[in-house]
Structures are given as structure tokens and as C-alpha cells.
Amino acid sequence: MADNEALFTSELVFFDWECATPDEVFARLEGELAPRGYIASGWLDAVRTREDAYPTGLAMPAANIAIPHTDPGFVAKPYIAVVKPAAPVTFNAMAGMGAPVPAQIVINLGIAEPGGQVEALQALMNIFMDADAAADVLGQTTPQGMVDAIRRHF
């Protein structure tokens, strides 16, 4: 998992975004990721299309999260971006499991290697199934603090 830990960087941690929908989160992410060279052309449409077909909201025991991602072909440079919005953003539940999920944190996976998304997804789910780990991550107020907290539990 050490390779995936390196994907967390403070330049891709964002706080207090005023977003009402997943589409707004994705549009703002594109505005941050594209100029930094992390995503390829077509990323925004691809992530929206994938989210519509395969929703990523997860109501976990310790926190509500969303883990949107798209096909590796739209990842120019591997990354994991973290958004802690000002107010929860409602995502549809993963695999149609239950009601829509008001996500307290959105973690966008930009993983290029085959199978890497599944490994990262499992590690993130483990964080948010653990009350102490989730509280540590959700309590962060600075980009570097968020990176350090996620790495501690990833």
C-alpha cells in the first residue's frame, strides 16, 4: 500500500467547498486537477458518466463518504484528491445499497494501474469503518493534517 500512500498530497486536499451536487464537486475538482496535469481531456464527462452508472456513496459505520473515480485512461498522473465540503453532498448509494448518502468527505481516486482502485477503495473503507480512524480524518482542518491522518490509517 506504500505506493498508494504516495498518491496523497496536500495540494489535492480541499476544505469547505460550497457544492450542492456531485456534479458541482466534479466540476471544481476538474478546475483543480487539470491545471496541475493530473487528468486527461474528457475526465469530467467520464467521472460523471461513471458516477451515474456506478454510484459511489457509502454510509459507513463511522462516517458517510463518497469515493468517485473513472477509468484509468483519464488519469494523466496518478493521484488521490480529498474534498471535505462545507456541508455534506448527497451521492447515490454504491451498488444501490440503500438511501442516498450525504457524504461528509469525498475522495476521488485517480489510480492508473489495473486493480489499484479496488485496493485503495478497500483501504479507505477500512478507515471509515473504524470510529477512531474516521474521527481522526474528519477532524482535520489543514491539507497536510488530512494527508497525515489518512496515511496513518491507510
Predicted confidence (pLDDT) at residue 37 exceeds the cutoff of 90: yes
> Stretch 57-67: mean pLDDT, rounded?
93
Higher confidence at residue 120 or residue 26?
26
Q: Global pTM?
A: 0.94
The full 3-state SS of 19-65, as one line of letters, equals CCCHHHHHHHHHHHHCCCCCECCCHHHHHHHHHHHCCCEEECCCCEE
Q: How many domains does the chain have?
A: 1
| Amino acid making up residue 130 | D
Q: Which three cell numbers stand for residue 77?
A: 498522473
Q: pLDDT band at residue 115, thresholds of 50, 70 and 90?
A: confident
Sign of the Cα torsion 49, 50, 51, 53 reads positive
Which of 47, 16, 50, 8 has the alpha carbon at shortest distance from 30?
47
Domain that holds residue 82: 2-153
pLDDT for the residue numbered 1 = 42
Q: pLDDT band at residue 3, thresholds of 50, 70 and 90?
A: low
**Residue carrying C-alpha cell 459511489:** 56
> Stretch 126-132: mean pLDDT, rounded?
94
> Stretch 124-128: mean pLDDT, rounded?
92
Which of 22, 105, 122 has the alpha carbon at shortest distance from 59?
105
Mean model confidence pLDDT for the chain: 92
- Cα–Cα distance measured from residue 92 to residue 140, given in angstroms and rounded to the nearest whole number: 25
